[in-house]
Chain A
Amino acid sequence: ELKVEQNPLFLSMQEGKNYTIYCNYSTTSDRLYWYRQDPGKSLESLFVLLSNGAVKQEGRLMASLDTKARLSTLHITAAVHDLSATYFCAVVTIKAAGNKLTFGGGTRVLVKP
């Protein structure tokens, strides 16, 4: 059974500093997603990572994937208040047909001035 673990569960950030969220998964995967969720809102897609060594960047967020280590990281550069949200990673197992995502527990990010 695929298990996805994120850490930390909660991250209190200071504006201007850099932080990293980790996502570990237990079985071989060929797709990893990062989503953002604001309170009371739906999930907003941030990145889809498809291959070992994949790196994607959007603004202050950068995601990478190491399929051999079964690890993805979401790096936040120079945090700003607008990045306060809950971040989820989700994985699709390599043998699965379709789009059955297994989510991590989420990392709640609070950026303080």
Chain B
Amino acid sequence: KAGVTQTPRYLIKTRGQQVTLSCSPISGHRSVSWYQQTPGQGLQFLFEYFSETQRNKGNFPGRFSGRQFSNSRSEMNVSTLELGDSALYLCASSPGQRNEKLFFGSGTQLSVL
């Protein structure tokens, strides 16, 4: 069974640009969550989608947005990039119920110059 796939693996952007990251969950999984990992702030929750609806949202500015498609694939978008957005962005998938294991992808390493 294929794992969680995130593309691209690495991305370099400049300040002010926007970026879209993609996450394909494990087949059959309906929940996709996104996390930002930085050396200073650690792992922080961005948002979670379940059946194309945002179910949870973290404390990030509106420049961070996401969506989920009918096949459960998810994208997150960051507009007007800032230097502080440089981070590893991790996606996690799960079947969607509580009390379950979450499976993480390899992440997208975003560098903003």
Contact = CB atoms under 8 A, between A and B. Distances in A.
A99 B50 CA distance: 10
A90 to B, nearest CB: 8
Interface residues of B, number: 26
Interface stretch (A12-20, A41-49, A65-73): A41-49
A45 B33 contact: no
Contact of A42 (B42, B50, B98, B104): B104
A75 interface: no
Contact of B42 (A41, A98, A103): A103
Given A99-B92, A100-B33, A102-B45, A41 B99 contact: no
Contacts, number: 67
Contacts of B43: 88, 90, 101, 103, 106
A50 B97 CA distance: 13
Contacts of A31: 98-99
Contacts of A87: none
Given A42-B106, A98-B50, A98-B98, 9 more contacts: A42-B104, A43-B104, A88-B43, A97-B98, A100-B45, A100-B56, A102-B45, A103-B35, A106-B43
A43 B99 contact: no
Contact of A101 (B33, B98, B105): B33
**Is the contact region of chain B dominated by helix, strand, or loop, or is it mixed?**
strand
Interface of A: 30-31, 33, 35, 41-45, 48, 50, 88, 90, 92, 96-106
A42 B56 contact: no
Contacts of A41: 106
Interface in B91-113: 92, 94, 96, 98-107
Residue of A42, A45, A48, A106 contacting most chain B CB atoms (<10 Å): A42
B48 A45 contact: no
A99 B104 CA distance: 13
A31 B99 CA distance: 7
Interface in B67-113: 90, 92, 94, 96, 98-107
